[in-house]
Each structure stands twice: as C-alpha cells, then as structure tokens.
Amino acid sequence: MNIAGRGFVLLLLLIASHNVFAQDVTEDEGIASKKGYSRQLGIGAGATYRRFLDDAISDIQYHRIGAIGSIANMKTNENKYTELTFQGSYLKMGHNKIDASSILKHEVKDLKLTFDYRHMLKVNLLDQMLYDVRLGGAFSGLFDYKKAPMLETSYKVYEYAVDLGLTGKIARQLYYNGRQCYAIIDATLPIFSNYARPPYLNRNHVLDPAYKESSYFFGNNKMAFVGKKCFRFNTRVHYLYPLKNGNKLRFTYQWDFYKMKQGETTVYSAEHSIIMAFLFNY
C-alpha cells in the first residue's frame, strides 16, 4: 500500500474511534475577520527522524532523530483555504557502518528549511454532510545544506528546489469531550521544479580565480517536469482540537520525501515528523 493509502486508512481509524457528527467548517468557535475568514497563527515544535543517501558524500545512509520547528498562517472560510508554513531542523547526522575507511564515526551537519504555500477551493466531492474536500495549487521551496568535514575540499553539499504543484485535503468533523474537532489528511505533489545540486563529485572550484560561490549557487539550476530528476512529496495527517478560548491545538504526523539528480550526484531524503502546534486566533 502506498503512503497515500496508508494515510487514508489512518484517517478512517481515527474517525472510527470517536462519535462522528456532520461537518460544518463555518463553525469555528474563534474570531472571524471582517471578510468572514477564520485566521490562525500556528507555532509548533516536535520530533523528527530523517534518513538520507547522498552520492556527493558517500554511499552510506545517514540518519538521526532530532527536533523540528514550524510556524504557519492559515485562513479559511466556507469556500477557500490558504496556508503558509515554514519548517526547519538542524541535525548532526550519523551512521552505524564501520569499515576500514571509517575508523571514526563521521558526522554530517545538516540544515533543512522548507516553505509551503497552499491555496485550495472547496469542491463537491464525497458526502458534503460528512466531509470537506478542497483542491488547489501549491508553491513550495526546499533548501538543504550539509557540512561533511571528512571530505576536505568538497565538504559543502547543498540542494535547493522551488516547486509549483497540486495540493488537496480532506477534513472530517468529529466531537471529543464535547469539543468540535477535526481529522484532516492533506498531500502536496510538484509538477514544475527549478532545482540545483552540487557539480560532478562535489568538487569545489577554489583554484579557479573566476569562481564565485554565489554565482555558481544560483547559476547551476535546472528545470524538471512531473518529478523527472527532481521530486518532492509531502503528506500530513492532523488532529485539530479547539480550546475554550477559541484557540486550537493541532497534532500532526508528517512524511516528507524528496529525490534530486544532477550530473553524477543523486540524493534521496525521507523525514518522519510528529509536531504539536498552538493555533492562535487573531
């Protein structure tokens, strides 16, 4: 079963464990703007487990459990939903493989930053008394910087991508302890990508007098279409619990995967995160 199928099964199990009522997303219990939007500012933190395999560093998989932070702004009304989310983590990645070329356990310092802007409209799918389905477009960005001291002159490894794609979510209203809650699953898939990876064997051009790090960083980019050579897939399962003052708690499981190939180097990265966020009405 693929990740979307597993997420949908998880959503059904979550819903089945509560008393379910018909959905009405206009009931917010919070503050509505003059234009009828419900707005929340979300500040969250949690734990993340990440693995990556990067040819520009070695043929060994690196992994680590660490912390992740996020900040988000959400606006919703009966027909529209928008969300702008920033996330970041800084991990000292390690591996368990010890061989003749790895007498010491090497560490790779990894900084990963992402942003995702989602804009969705309500569509008439499924039973509207039970589900709220919204589809739309997404504008996303990814930057990952790895510092691997054991590589000497080629120890700086980076990749970045800017994507345009499709996004969608399904929400189901339910009640728990007399509170109006929501179970939500969403997913984002890129269609067009502009991305960059290190050059062949990640060699630094420090001996070239005309070499400039900034010009090469932005001049080494490529275009990709529908996941060819660059692909990122992000899916989340949320449980939204309202507080008596109109604010909310949001518990999220997120799976974020990407693959990039440029020249002779390819990177695969998968990250599982559990995040708790406070959503403040404003």
217/153 Cα distance (integer angstroms) = 17
pLDDT at position 26, please?
A: 40
CATH code of the domain in which 243 resides: 2.40.128.100
Q: How many CA atoms lie within 13 A of 233 on its CB side?
A: 11
Q: Which domain holds residue 140?
A: 3-281
pLDDT at position 156, please?
A: 80
pLDDT at position 220, please?
A: 74
pLDDT at position 116, please?
A: 97
How many Cβ atoms are within 10 Å of 204's Cβ, its own excluded?
A: 17
3-state class (DSSP) for residue 97 = coil
pLDDT at position 125, please?
A: 81
pLDDT at position 73, please?
A: 96
3-state class (DSSP) for residue 279 = strand
**What is the separation of C-alpha 164 from the centre of its chain, rounded to a whole number of angstroms?**
14
| pLDDT tens digits, one per residue of 135-188 | 999 999 999 999 887 776 567 888 999 999 999 999 998 888 878 889 999 999
183/105 Cα distance (integer angstroms) = 42
How many Cβ atoms are within 10 Å of 228's Cβ, its own excluded?
A: 10
pLDDT means per 10 residues, the chain with 282 residues, are 46 40 39 72 97 88 95 92 97 75 70 97 81 94 89 76 96 84 94 85 58 65 85 95 89 96 89 96 87
pTM for the model stands at: 0.80
Number of domains in the chain: 1
| pLDDT tens digits, one per residue of 107-135 | 899 999 999 999 999 998 877 677 899 99
12/206 Cα distance (integer angstroms) = 55
216/221 Cα distance (integer angstroms) = 9
pLDDT at position 48, please?
A: 97
pLDDT at position 250, please?
A: 96
pLDDT at position 83, please?
A: 97
